[in-house]
Structure 1
Amino acid sequence: MIAVDAGSNQISVLRIRHDGSLRLVQDGVVSSGGSTPVSVAAHDGLVYVANAGSADSNYTGFTLSEGGHLRPIADSTVTLPGNAQPGDVLFDATGTNLIGTRVGTSQIDSFSVGSDGRLTAAPGSPFAAQAAGPFGSEFSPTDPRQLFVSNAHAGAVNGTVSAFRVASDGTLSSIGASPFADQQTAPCWVEITHDGQFLFTVNTASGSISRYSIAPDGTLKLLGSTPVSSQAGVGAVDARLSADGQTLYVDESRVASVGEFTVDGGQLTEFGSVSLPAGATPAGVAVR
């Protein structure tokens, strides 16, 4: 597992034991190549981190060895404006395209990934986002050319989710009537069911999870929203599906707990939560 350490400008690599516990890899902590790393993407032995600090904002690449050791890739750093405030970075399923969201300037970076691990900006990149504050992003697990991005900063009940088609050179084009209304506030994180038919987005300021169906062409249809019950759900952030796709785990950062929802197609039902140590302020969740 790879974790970004925003407070120390580092990246840590941890080994997952059979019982689920974690152990830091020897010499597994390295500089992120910038300041305030906030997101990390990995595909096979290639890793990119988004550094959001205004003085040293960038995307920087690393190779990851089988033993869990990171090595910086020479000349891989893509410098960003100080006000870019990158929020998310991710590879598509093939590892040939990399996407990054710029929350601060409402833009989306798109790159093709070379055989040497270095990035080439797509024609027209960065692309203007379709609404303010593009934040969370996710590729369809069944169609790697479909990209979905939540837009978090358009104001109360004005959240949206954008749908894009990604060309082989990384060029983004809008799908249908994108962006699609969320009718909630601050949709920040996106998760898609393993069959590619439904999308969930966590609305941090509304305390809810919006549910969409995904048409074969990538068009979204809002099905409704499900409240997160803990502390009225305000402060819920990241969400991830279990390996079998039957449970959605939600990081309820404000109250230091993880909410559990059963998944039935595009329907969600909350059935419990697990408390974390007092004082914990988790910023993300990963499910193996």
Structure 2
Amino acid sequence: MEELMTEQSSNVATAVYVQTNDATENEVVAFGRREDGQLAPLGRFPTGGRGTGEPHLPSQSSIVLSDDGAQLLVVNAGSDELSLFSVGDGGLLLSDRVASGGATPTSVAIHGDLVYVLNNGTPNIAGFKIDNGRIVELEGSARPLSADNADPAQVSFSLDGRTLVVTERGTDSISAYAIDERGHASGPTTIKSSGKTPYGFDFTPDGAMIVTEAFGGALGAAAASSYSLTDPGRLAPVSGSVGDTRSEVCWAAVTKDGRFAYVTNFGDGTISSYEIARDGRLALRDAVAGSTRLGEKGIRDEAISRDGRYLYAIDADAQKVFGWAVGSDGALASIGAFEGVPQTVAGLAAS
């Protein structure tokens, strides 16, 4: 097996978290991670809210960890709420639950103590602060997207926290907001996506943003593109659409050193890998770097562990979490599949 990418580990528990998105009682399903990447069930932890109860929640980052891994945020798309957990060695403790500031929250972002929720049904973004284990509304922080038909997929902060980005599938656009010292967002400044149906994205340590493009689910049309941040709240294209030859790409994860990106292709159960140049330009490395069930639909949300050694992804239709070791050359090596998630499973965060 290739040499594994490593990074200094933190003191927080090493685990993988997903949400059930259950319409009656949403829960977080937690798995403990062993040194070899294997997962073992830690338990289920009610969010206090409700999911949609439908398979394939159409978003990235419906569940996220704080920068230090000590807190976990989960959107409850069915009850229009946001839940906050504190993370411990033995599992999760529900700290707070508040209204999301809009309808049908599907994605959430955190930087320090600042949180923004993406409400797909409104559509808007709404800001909050975490204060002593409580979620406090950031008054006057709600902002609209570029259009009522935006159909947003993901919200996330740039690594420096000065920009908040939302991908808009309905308008084939990407909206960016500048964040001021109070945590309020100004904008959006909206640009057309390089390709159609921009979906999930992630940032490199140097600030390049890698975005997947589903092209409406057209067969063999899946692609990714990249952008740079020219100023807070302003994006500029770097790489145009670079195809991966697969279908229905949606989710993106960038390695800790910023050299590779992995995108999951729902249409055929595959993961494609891209090489990322120093200037943020993309080149396809492997059309099929890994797979859950090759040729079968179902692979969805993914995340790389905090130490950079492992990639995990859910296959909702198989009702499993799959894992791979991440090689220093970007190659993926399967470490197995782990049961214990429902067909409505959504989101994935890894510490």
Asked whether 1:101 is paired with 2:148, we answer no
The answer to whether the Cα contact below 8 Å between 1:231 and 1:255 also exists between their aligned partners in 2 is no
The answer to whether the Cα contact below 8 Å between 1:227 and 1:233 also exists between their aligned partners in 2 is no
Question: Superposed, which structure 2 residues align to 1:1-288 within 5 Å?
Answer: 1-19=72-90, 21-25=91-95, 28-53=96-121, 56-65=122-131, 67-80=132-145, 81-121=147-187, 125-140=189-204, 142-144=205-207, 146-154=208-216, 155-176=218-239, 178-224=240-286, 225-230=288-293, 232-264=295-327, 265-277=329-341, 279-288=342-351
Indicate the SS of the match to 1:89: strand
* Number of residues of Structure 1 aligned to a counterpart in Structure 2: 276
Extract structure 1 runs of 4+ deviating beyond 3 A.
Answer: 229-233
Q: Which residue of 1 aligns with 2:54?
A: none
The answer to whether the Cα contact below 8 Å between 1:58 and 1:77 also exists between their aligned partners in 2 is yes
For residues 220-244 of structure 1, the C-alpha deviation after alignment (integer angstroms, 9 at most, x for no partner) is 1111123423374521111111222
Shift of 1:280: 4.4
The answer to whether the Cα contact below 8 Å between 1:208 and 1:226 also exists between their aligned partners in 2 is yes
Indicate the SS of the match to 1:115: coil
Distance of 1:102 and 1:287 partners within structure 2: 25
In structure 1, runs of 5+ residues without a counterpart are none
Shift of 1:208: 0.5
Shift of 1:126: 1.2
Shift of 1:266: 1.4
Shift of 1:159: 1.0
The answer to whether the Cα contact below 8 Å between 2:325 and 2:332 also exists between their aligned partners in 1 is yes
Q: Among the aligned pairs, what percent are the same residue?
A: 30
TM-score (normalizing by structure 2): 0.76
In structure 2, runs of 5+ residues without a counterpart are 1-71
Distance of 2:316 and 2:192 partners within structure 1: 30
Indicate the SS of the match to 1:22: strand
Indicate the SS of the match to 2:129: strand
Distance of 1:132 and 1:121 partners within structure 2: 22
Shift of 1:191: 0.5
For CA contacts below 8 A with separation 6 or more, give which structure has more relative contact order.
2
Distance of 2:185 and 2:148 partners within structure 1: 20
Shift of 1:71: 1.2
Distance of 1:193 and 1:11 partners within structure 2: 28
**Distance change in 2, residues 1:23/1:42 (3 Å):** same
TM-score (normalizing by structure 1): 0.92
The answer to whether the Cα contact below 8 Å between 2:162 and 2:232 also exists between their aligned partners in 1 is no
The answer to whether the Cα contact below 8 Å between 1:233 and 1:252 also exists between their aligned partners in 2 is no
